[in-house]
Structure 1
């Protein structure tokens, strides 16, 4: 109240105040505290009708009490300030902004890409640390939302990880902050295409044969129902891919190469692709295995010939087995040999021929079983003989040859040319397809054992003997006491023997660990009282 009154008095001159005004001023000052410094000069001035010294007295007082004025003001009303600047109450002026998409509109992409947008103020200056909003609508109308902050250059980056081919609409927005107005949203399209590739399983063709062409996407998946345009020495073919993404074009029979071109013009947001090459055209060849089972140290052999029956002699053939590759040359018979000294077991062996300019490449593979009876040469196991074995070719007793047994024997051996292969095939079938049941003596015989697919050692042997004899391979039984098995159990036991090329091979089909000529499920040094039978009597 003191400050207001003093300011009011100092703001007018003595000449301009009437009696009522003077009275009002006087009343205001008289109500204040007894301040001698303040009241005496004012009272004198008022009583003396406020002469020309009033202004000087007030100025002197204000100069002497400058700090008191500030303190009184603050204590009287903290909300009142000494500022006369009305701009403090005005709304701040925000700068306008604008967004600019740096990435092109209708941008064609093929995978993950970065999408760039820039935010600037009305003067073109970049705005950093601003939050930018992205709305991405896929071709099916499903929306996703992302945000990113601008860098020092005003650029925000959206990492696009789109999965659906087609047009994706992107809306970019900035909603402003304390210093900047929001920007008008901007829009652009990004079009996701998928790359395609035209493949040929082979880079050569065979005369008068279908040549395969395949269309796949960027992940190698086949593209079906797509149109391909193919040119073979200028002749046009229009084909539609099948469910495997493939089409087929027949090669001519009168030339050894053709100019080949294939086009996919692109559709459904799959990118176009092209394949062109000079395609060799050969006569077809075959590489055929001639043997599937050998003794350790013997030869594996294949036959190389043309599809027209021509034997291909003095040609290089490559064999790959057990991680190693060997090159051999065909003899005048078209046969190539490789001697193998690998351990007993089954191996995959691959063999291939390149070409000679007329006859084309050929490759094949086969399973080769190597038999090794070493370490188990003993009477009743693997033993050589020069005696006649003809009596062991015929069935009877528990090894009676039925129609079903004869049919199965033929099926198992028809693809093989040697007795060792046939014997191995029969043994492997019984070993791999029959379960074991423990009981004494023959209970089922060969025919019923085949039907039930189970049996003890006697009935396993009955079936092996019957199947071998059905293929004119001599077979017999061995029986011994004191056979000690891996479990520690010791008992009498029966197993078969198969005669191949002057040797009887042990054939115990009761364990998957056994192979022709080699027993592992019991100690072959432990048995005694061995008996050999043409037909087992029990």
Structure 2
């Protein structure tokens, strides 16, 4: 902007010094000074500059991968060259300088997709800043799609290759990676490459790479099998297994013969009009089987099927319900079967509650439900049952339902308020709403100045052991409530007193059989009055058993120990009224089961029962050292024999094979063996300890249902042959439980096994 000032026309009062930069003193002209102005200064030009406006524009809406994005920078008159333009995309800044046409270009190297690009010019001394936001679509230079075909189908992988300008890349070598294998192919005149993919059924990654742009495109090539199961893989005995066969074009292979191998036998079966071949599972027992199917196109596919018993197992699943006032009361139970399919639909479930049974059918999800809106408040036990059918076993489930009619709560003491000193008896407080227990709620108790925060159990009870000095105490308790139930509080007085002495009296005999033993003791106070409550402990043969003292003062223990003499100890742990006490007694446990090859009376020894054999090395260094260690400090023959037997039973693993494999010494080293090698080690150890010992061979029926040949041992203790089968943890010296001793076939007894 140019301002032209004529000196002759300027008046002092007209000059604004702040606008033209002349100070105030010089701006005031009097008559004298005006006469001294030179005529050559008739006109003064003052010049003020303004920046030119600029703009950015771009015609580019899409580019191919590796192509350039351009903008044009111009002012109102012409394009601007040699100016830096910035490009911001994906938080990355790129710079480019405009050419003689004002065009700034940048290769963004962006993956195919849509982007927002912010271009801007910072301006300079002559030109204003400007910016432009553009939407840019980056296009791939390879075009290919995911492909799905059937095995041996004719569909090929195809891809079209382009250059950075989008023109077909004709007659150029390109690379295609198929399932890790690299192929080099030439494009045709349209830039297209075709590649047959003849692999086994599965999904394969194909990576194509452009030779000019370096762009890579990954697609999936999915090859479908021409063999598929037409029925579930979980079957019931007697059902059929169906397989569907297809052609390479995906159409059914109708009325054609195919092969199916099952249980070692190959069947030639003809498909029906739907391409389905049917395999009968008649007389096929419960188990897991492989079914190998072969199509005429050469494809072979193996299916693992599970065959269940004629009656498949079922399961009923529900939960414990809690209903508040005015809530909808509907309970549900779900039936599932071992077949894990829709076989749980439309089945009748019986729901028994409050003494009445309701029958409900399962819906499409196998769920049966019942509305309890008519039921009053209370705690109900719900019994769900499914009676089963020709194909399914019965099942049962039991849950609980709580129905509340109020949210007002109450805290009530549910235990004694008199506590024996040192007994640790608990003060119990119940938290209820309308008499219904509230579970998993917090109740705080203050006892002797200490605060206890407890969570109620399933019965709404909190318990705090009282371990205070003798005296009287005040207890306060309160609940905080929640969004549903109101808070409650209360208090009570408790006292702690000195407990009295107790006695434990034996009320049983001293002679027992080894099939089981029942011991009974009576707990009384010092005056002989029976007490109730508290726990008693009985220890025999290193095992401790517990029992509760009943209301009649008796505690009963049931044990199961092997033959021998035992010192039995009983301890009463005290209760709220009485202190602890103990007692002991010696008992004798004798053999209960006798039979040929089991336990036998009138035993006669023989030197043959003390000798070594090829598989039974008596007195070997390792066995002798072990026997000495096991029997050290033991005086009775029964205790020594038990120590040897228990070691073999508890230390060795069972391994299935026929006849002898390791012998006594090898079995000790391997720490495993079959029944024969178990017996070799037992006999060697017994004989090393000075016992007569022998082998017994028979045919036995085991608990798992198998009937097979078996070897065990007998050891002579006193005048009896005592059985010793260490192949099962269930067995003990003189007692066999892993096979039926009432039904077995005895083959022979040996001093040395012939196998």
Same fold (TM over 0.5): no
Give the structure with the higher percent strand.
Answer: 2
Larger CA Rg, structure 1 vs 2:
1
TM-score by length of 2: 0.29
- Comparing both structures, which one devotes a greater share of its residues to helix? 1
> RCO higher in 1 or 2 (8 Å CA, sep ≥ 6)?
1
